[in-house]
């Protein structure tokens, strides 16, 4: 049987099931994006309940400061996936 190659979807699935370690292991960037999606759900609820505009929440996140860090994390996550695939460690067991 060929080794599996889980990615973003598998990471989101593990995150939704509450297994953050597995989510981060199979695809670190997927775990981070799943966390961001979860935060958007809570932010949407906040906006719906309070009626306050969403831009107030968006202004709390510094744009430029996070861009380089996020790009670096994405590259490191890609490197992690390459390492796992080359060493036959891909997939959560």
**Is residue 1 in a domain?**
no
Domain holding 80, by residue range, is 8-86
pLDDT at 4 exceeding the cut of 80: no
**Is residue 60 in a domain?**
yes
pLDDT at 1 exceeding the cut of 50: no
Contact 82, 4 (CB under 8 A): no
DSSP output for 3-64: PP---HHHHHHHHHTT-HHHHHHH-HHHHHHHHHHHHHHHHHHHHHHH---THHHHTTS-HH
Q: What is the reported pLDDT for 36?
A: 92
- Rounded CA gap, 83 and 73, in Å? 15
**Is residue 65 in a domain?**
yes
Per-residue model confidence as pLDDT tens digits over 48-86: 999 988 777 777 777 777 788 899 999 999 999 999 989
Q: How many domains does the chain have?
A: 1
- Please list, in sequence order, all residues whose beta carbon lies within 8 angstroms of the beta carbon of residue 3, skipping any fewer than 6 positions away: 85, 88, 90, 91
Per-residue model confidence as pLDDT tens digits over 14-28: 999 999 999 999 999
**Is residue 3 in a domain?**
no
């Amino acid at each position: 049987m060929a080794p599996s190659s889980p990615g973003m979807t598998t990471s989101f699935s593990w995150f939704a099931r509450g297994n953050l370690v597995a989510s981060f292991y199979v695809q670190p960037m997927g775990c981070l994006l799943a966390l961001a999606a979860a935060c958007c759900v809570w932010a949407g609820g906040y906006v719906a309940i309070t009626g306050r505009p969403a831009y107030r929440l968006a202004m709390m996140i510094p744009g430029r400061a996070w861009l380089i860090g996020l790009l670096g994390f994405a590259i490191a996550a890609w490197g992690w996936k390459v390492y796992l695939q080359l060493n036959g460690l891909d997939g959560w067991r």
